[in-house]
């Protein structure tokens, strides 16, 4: 299972990697931000992309939505999880409408990441994201 993790915080990246270390088949590609990894998308062939809503201003969501759409233009396959402190109903709806599969509050739902991967793994497929109704 290939996971691309995009978060500007080294602490958050480390915490996610430690959480997922119990899943021996998880292989990580880590980026601090930006879209440079997208040029390697076909080679990486990720199963899950975890990204952060960066910034807190009025336009903070725009780069995240653009990133989700870029991923979806390349493939419908990887699940996309948005992990953020910038939680609002509008942000959640916008990310899900753009193509994200999960929108998680860092302070309340961080621990759900391993369950998302376990559930995906149990589905027995490398095609098609797991889309739980609770996050739609």
Given a contact cutoff of 8 angstroms between Cβ atoms, the answer to whether 50 and 3 are in contact is yes
Fold (topology level) of 2-135: Rossmann fold (3.40.50)
Task: Give me the residue spans of the domains in the chain.
Answer: 2-135
Across all residues in the chain, what is the average pLDDT?
79
pLDDT of the residue at 55: 58
**Can you give the pLDDT at residue 46?**
86
- Does residue 6 surpass a pLDDT of 70? yes
What's the burial of 35, exposed, middle or buried (CB within 10 Å: 0-12/13-18/19+)?
middle
Q: What is the pTM of this model?
A: 0.80
Of residues 83 and 1, more confidence is placed in 83
**Minimum mean pLDDT among 42-51, 87-96, 97-106, 115-124: which range?**
115-124
**Interior angle at CA 54, CA 127 and CA 39, nearest 5:** 50
pLDDT at 131: 44
Q: Give 50-112 as a DSSP string.
A: EE-----STTTHHHHHHHHHHHHHH-S-SEEEEEES---HHHHHHHHHHT-SEEEEHHHHGGG
pLDDT, residue 56, reads 56
């Amino acid at each position: 299972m290939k996971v691309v993790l995009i978060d500007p915080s080294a602490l958050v990246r480390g915490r996610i990697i430690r959480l997922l270390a119990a899943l021996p088949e998880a292989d990580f590609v880590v980026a601090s931000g930006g879209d440079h990894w997208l040029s390697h998308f076909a080679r990486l062939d990720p199963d899950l992309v975890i990204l952060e809503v960066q910034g807190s201003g009025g336009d903070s969501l725009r780069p995240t939505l653009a990133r989700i759409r870029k991923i979806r233009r390349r493939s419908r396959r990887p699940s996309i999880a948005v992990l953020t402190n910038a939680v609002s109903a509008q942000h959640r709806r916008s990310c899900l409408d753009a193509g994200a599969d999960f929108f998680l509050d860092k302070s309340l739902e961080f621990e759900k990441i391993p369950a998302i991967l376990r559930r995906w793994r149990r589905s027995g497929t490398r095609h098609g994201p797991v889309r739980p109704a609770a996050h739609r």
